[in-house]
Structure 1
Amino acid sequence: MSIENKVVLITGASSGIGEASARLLASRGAKVVLGARRDDRLRQIAEGIEEDGGQAAWRKLDVTDPQQNKDFVAFAKERYGQVDVMFLNAGLMPSSPLSALKTDEWDRMVDVNLKGVLHGIAAALPEFTAQKSGQFITTSSVAGLKAYPNGAVYGATKWAVRELMEVLRMESAMEGTHIRTATIYPAAIQTELLNTITDKGAKEAMNQTYDSYQITPDRVASVVAFAIDQPEDTNVSEFTIGPTIQPW
């Protein structure tokens, strides 16, 4: 399997999709490098992976800081000698109507959901270009495919991620650098995203949706593993994943 021995860097790895992906990929032989702001959780997850026979390292990471992203990639290369996959998974979803004018939250979403992805690309792209191989995977959202009330800014950041990944794939093909990209569009997945919502009406509506439909993050992790496990000459670009019973 092509997952085995690959060095996979994961942002937003302290919970949810990031944690589930780290555990699954490590169980299949990947060397995972975990990044997030909660270093206590990263340590706990990495120790659990190693206790189960896997290989894991961790480093505290704020994706909004360009230098921390570069240091994260350098740390992974120093630890394992190479960098094969960058899973740009960190994100925030403080949904609210535009009329609420929660501009501080708008800025945070742009900083994490969009600029955080750009910083991750900038950190890993030179390595991938030099070795003429590598893969970027990003977590977008079904809100990156269609519009939802209360999700204008969140959706805008996720639409932007879709554009970034597709152009990166095209440019890599044109430049002969063999970099693969995959974008994942989750619907209601059990994560901590809802904890960032401060608008009362938006939070109540989202809680009702998730309570009715959500599936566990390991369902997304299996898609991440599928994308990585494809032959190096094969790119699978986009995956929409959500509960069968949710009319998203």
Structure 2
Amino acid sequence: MRRMTKAVAITGASSGIGEATARRLAADGHSVLLGARRTDRLRRLVEEITDQGGTAAYRALDVTDAADVRAFVDAARCEFGRLDVLVNNAGVMPLSPLDAGRIDEWDRMIDVNVRGVLHGIAAALPAMRAQGHGHIVNVASVGAYEVSPTAAVYCATKFAVRAISEGLRQESAGALQVTLISPGVTESELADGISDPTARDAMATYRSVALPASAIAEAIAYAVAQPSTVDVNEVIVRPAASAQ
């Protein structure tokens, strides 16, 4: 049976889980619009996807800017004629102990990890409700279920994404699909933004066993592939060799 192809917009698509998801969904025949700040990477990724026969486009995107996210959703609709799936993947993780007082980093996590998701939902919901279907995929973390030292603020943002996803699911029953994907430690550039030495050393140990980003892309592809009558609510993906 031929799988239905969908129009998908992905935030944070220039590396890591976002990049892997773009490749995986395009390989499945879906059309993908990729958004991130690093447009040089997006351009190369789109060229690779199209060279392999896929359908892809890109747009510069700052998820902390609500108007920019609205324009991103509008671009997907202009490019593909509709928006079936929004993958809210953009995120940052500058960990530090609370007593380090890195308020700027805390604010950045709240702006990207929480407000960015809300901006995506606010932009996509009207279009999806008007067309009578849609799927919001929010990428959280195992940090949405547990808290560890140096990760209090990061985990708080991911707890928030989990709560927002569940609220959206309940409000949209029968109208939209809502999926929360929560990766365990995964190969990505997230840890590169850790400036606090204590947190950086702890993360190096924590990341000694890590999933490839493609493993998370597979989970997202599974959820996206489901018909509108099936709602995959929450998926937690951890390395088999790790308790975390």
TM-score by length of 2: 0.98
Q: Which residue of 1 aligns with 2:60?
A: 60
SS at match of 1:182: strand
Percent identity between the aligned chains? 48
Q: Which residue of 2 aligns with 1:190?
A: 187
Deviation at 1:4, TM superposition (A): 4.0
Q: Which residue of 1 aligns with 2:200?
A: 203
Q: Distance in 1 between matches of 2:107 and 2:190?
A: 16
Whichever residue aligns with residue 172 of structure 1, its letter is: S
Task: Kindly provide the CA deviation profile for residues 119-152 of structure 1, in whole angstroms up to 9, marking residues without a partner as x.
Answer: 0001101011111210000110111111111111
Q: Which residue of 1 aligns with 2:125?
A: 125
Q: Which residue of 2 aligns with 1:16?
A: 16
1:240 and 2:217 aligned: no
Whichever residue aligns with residue 222 of structure 2, its letter is: F
Task: Kindly provide the CA deviation profile for residues 11-30 of structure 1, in whole angstroms up to 9, marking residues without a partner as x.
Answer: 00000000000001001100
Task: Kindly provide the CA deviation profile for residues 91-126 of structure 1, in whole angstroms up to 9, marking residues without a partner as x.
Answer: 000011001000000000000000000000011010
Deviation at 1:208, TM superposition (A): 1.6
Q: Which residue of 2 aligns with 1:180?
A: 177
Task: Kindly provide the CA deviation profile for residues 191-225 of structure 1, in whole angstroms up to 9, marking residues without a partner as x.
Answer: 00001100001001101221x20121000000000
SS at match of 1:239: strand
Deviation at 1:76, TM superposition (A): 0.7
Whichever residue aligns with residue 184 of structure 1, its letter is: I
Q: Distance in 2 between matches of 1:215 and 1:234?
A: 27
8 Å CA contact 1:2–1:229 kept in 2: the answer is no
Q: Distance in 2 between matches of 1:85 and 1:33?
A: 10
Deviation at 1:3, TM superposition (A): 5.7
Quickly say closer, same or farther: Cα 1:49–1:4, change in 2 above 3 A: farther
Q: Which residue of 1 aligns with 2:140?
A: 140
Whichever residue aligns with residue 68 of structure 2, its letter is: Q
Whichever residue aligns with residue 144 of structure 2, its letter is: G
Q: Distance in 2 between matches of 1:2 and 1:188?
A: 34
8 Å CA contact 1:20–1:218 kept in 2: the answer is yes
Unaligned 5+ runs, structure 1:
none
Task: Kindly provide the CA deviation profile for residues 139-181 of structure 1, in whole angstroms up to 9, marking residues without a partner as x.
Answer: 10111111111111000000000011111111111xx5x1111
1:160 and 2:188 aligned: no
Whichever residue aligns with residue 123 of structure 1, its letter is: A
Quickly say closer, same or farther: Cα 1:244–1:143, change in 2 above 3 A: same
Superposed, which structure 2 residues align to 1:29-48 within 5 Å?
A: 29-48=29-48
Whichever residue aligns with residue 85 of structure 1, its letter is: V
Whichever residue aligns with residue 134 of structure 2, its letter is: G
Q: Distance in 1 between matches of 2:5 and 2:211?
A: 29
Q: Distance in 2 between matches of 1:75 and 1:90?
A: 18
Superposed, which structure 2 residues align to 1:76-87 within 5 Å?
A: 76-87=76-87
Q: Which residue of 1 aligns with 2:211?
A: 215
Deviation at 1:5, TM superposition (A): 2.5
8 Å CA contact 1:3–1:25 kept in 2: the answer is no
Whichever residue aligns with residue 203 of structure 2, its letter is: M
8 Å CA contact 1:6–1:30 kept in 2: the answer is yes
Q: Distance in 1 between matches of 2:215 and 2:78?
A: 31
One of 226, 232, 236 as aligned partner of 2:222: 226
SS at match of 2:87: strand
CA RMSD of aligned residues (A): 1.0
Superposed, which structure 2 residues align to 1:80-95 within 5 Å?
A: 80-95=80-95
